A and B are shown apart, each in its own frame.
Chain A
Amino acid sequence: MTEAVRIRPEQFPLTRECPFSPPEEYRGLRDEAPIAKVRLVDDKWAWAITRHEDVRAVLSDPRFSADRTHPDFPMLTRGGRLRQEGDEKPLISMDAPEHGPARRAVLGEFTVRRMEALRPRIQEIVDERIDAMLAGPRPADLVRELSLPVPSLVICELLGVPYTDHEFFQAHTTTMISRMSSAEDRQKAFEAVQSYLRDLIVVKEGDAGEEDLLGRQILKGREDGTYRREALVAMAFLLLLAGHETTANMISLGTIALLENPDQLALVKADPSKTLSAVEELLRYFTIVDAATARRATEDVELGGVTIRAGEGVLALGFAANRDPEAFENPDDLDVERGARHHVAFGFGAHQCLGQNLARMELQIVVDTLFRRVPELALAQPVEELLFKDEAAIYGVHSLPVTW
């Protein structure tokens, strides 16, 4: 089991052959070598972890570091790390004891109650976007009309970023997360967004108010003497990136999956209270940030009969874990009534997605509202012809023609 396993194309990350299924190798790895050495794009090696239980164990074990700035951290894209002179570690790269206080400083903004308070505004945004789509020509591109604008508007409003600049972010974030982008283009896009946010935060420093997250963080940091501009730039960058690309892709993919599984869609339509479990199931079913949960061992760790040595990289593969039959019966079936809440689509452990309850709420509102208001919604192009984001770190679909 400790021997290196050779797999197609011998380089991680692997791509999906079917848009709804994990790479075929995941099943083989999980069955035969659940903790296996695999080769990464930069020819270094890392341990691929494919069982649900092991993935949760790795992600909740402080001996595995999340510090992406470390040279031994497993790389999933060519061309090195995105860095700018003097920039700060984002929350996702921090380990204890730095991580806890930094996360708690912003966590109050993302509690279940705070998210619930946003519900009426999110509902309004979703209704406005559906109105606009219905008033326009058929077929419409759901990505452009609904999937992207909804989370984009929500995160811009929450942060206090002018929505008029959203096209700038969308263009740059797409470049940043695409594995097809050149290293130079990714670095340029990264720096452009960083300096935009820095300028915005400098303006807000002069007139910091309670009405948006950035303003509140400035005031709070000044009050307790912890305010640092660059730390807030890093935080804003992370929230904006995560807020743009993840929920948007889940809205599109979730819509496709429900339309392709009419029996499951009928269950949701008949009983809107099932939307809650349907959203969890869609999150599990797609696991759009499969390999984002990489780690580096900081000491020797025994896991499932294997010794992972200090310094070695680990890929806790969420998509493999979320299709583990030990954790989910008939894992390849979409079952909106499945109790799927123990999925790891938002990760697990100290770094579990900060915005998960915002994402859940946006998805619930969209699923509910879209199929209630547009019950005749249908794909205007066969699934086989859709262009999926096989090359991106966050899985999704480039466009989604729909009609009604």
Chain B
Amino acid sequence: MKITADVGRCVGAGQCVLTEPALFDQSEDDGTVIVLVDEPEGVLLDHAREAVRVCPSQAISLSG
């Protein structure tokens, strides 16, 4: 499974970073999402699913 982030949709709420800081970070400048690990596995994959669920702008998705 691969994480895709749409920076154009992102509103910088930081919910992904709160869910799993090993997978996501925020730009210092405008707060938008930075994906740190593209293809999470194991428990990190579960956390990525939770991040997708709580993202308020539906800017991150999992596919593949």
Contact = CB atoms under 8 A, between A and B. Distances in A.
Interface of A: 59-60, 100, 103-105, 107-108, 110-113, 341-342, 346-353, 356-357, 360
B56 A112 contact: no
Contacts of A111: 12, 14, 17, 26-28, 31
Main SS of the interface on chain A?
Answer: helix
B11 interface: yes
A349 B14 contact: no
A107 B12 contact: yes
B14 A60 contact: no
Contacts, number: 69
Contacts of A108: 27-31
A113 to B, nearest CB: 7
A64 B60 CA distance: 22
Interface of B: 11-15, 17-19, 21, 25-32, 50, 53-54, 56-58
Contacts of B56: 59-60, 346-350, 352
A112 B28 CA distance: 10
B62 to A, nearest CB: 16
Contact of A60 (B12, B30, B58): B58
A33 B37 CA distance: 43
B31 A341 contact: no
A173 B39 CA distance: 47
A350 B57 contact: yes
5 contacts: A107-B12, A107-B30, A111-B28, A112-B26, A357-B14
Given A104-B12, A110-B14, A353-B13, 17 more contacts: A59-B56, A107-B12, A107-B31, A108-B27, A108-B30, A111-B14, A111-B17, A111-B26, A111-B31, A112-B18, A112-B26, A342-B54, A348-B56, A349-B11, A350-B11, A350-B57, A357-B14
Top 7 A-B residue pairs of the complex, sorted by shortest distance between their CB atoms: A107-B31, A352-B56, A104-B30, A112-B14, A107-B12, A111-B26, A112-B17
Contact of B13 (A59, A104, A352): A352
Nearest to A220: B29
Contact of B18 (A110, A347, A349, A357): A357
From A104, A349, A351, name the one whose CB has the most chain B CB atoms within 10 angstroms. A104
Contact of B19 (A107, A341, A353): A341
A202 B17 CA distance: 36
From B28, B29, B54, B56, name the one whose CB has the most chain A CB atoms within 10 angstroms. B56
A112 B21 CA distance: 10
Nearest to B12: A107
Given A60-B58, A112-B18, A352 B11 contact: yes
Contacts of B29: 108
A236 B1 CA distance: 42
A272 B64 CA distance: 38
